[in-house]
Amino acid sequence: MNRDSEYWFPAKTHGWGWRPPRTLQGWALLAAYVALLMGGVPILDPEANPWLFVVYTIFLSAVLTFICFKKGEPPRWRWGKGDA
């Protein structure tokens, strides 16, 4: 099996980071991230306690980024097709 097909998140062709998921697992992770983020709104009430919601959002984003590093194509700066 090709190592590229094992990556949940392909690298961007320009800049640094990842493109949208290429696998079902990647899409499920992204959907879970959005669901947990939106699910935290009524529970944590960002208007009443904004700092708690900010911490919650940073935590979820850190977990997502960690998984992207583990399951995504290694990120590096890319200039495009030629990658000069």
pLDDT digits (tens, 9 = 90+) for 14-69: 889 899 999 999 999 999 999 999 999 999 999 999 999 999 999 999 999 999 99
Instruction: Return the pLDDT at 76.
Output: 87
Domain ranges of the chain: 3-71
Which pLDDT value is given to residue 84? 53
d(CA 58, CA 61): 5
Per-residue confidence (pLDDT) for residue 22, from 0 to 100: 93
Local confidence band at 1 (pLDDT 50, 70, 90 cut-offs)? very low
The pTM of this model reads: 0.82
Cα 62 from Cα 65, distance rounded (Å) = 5
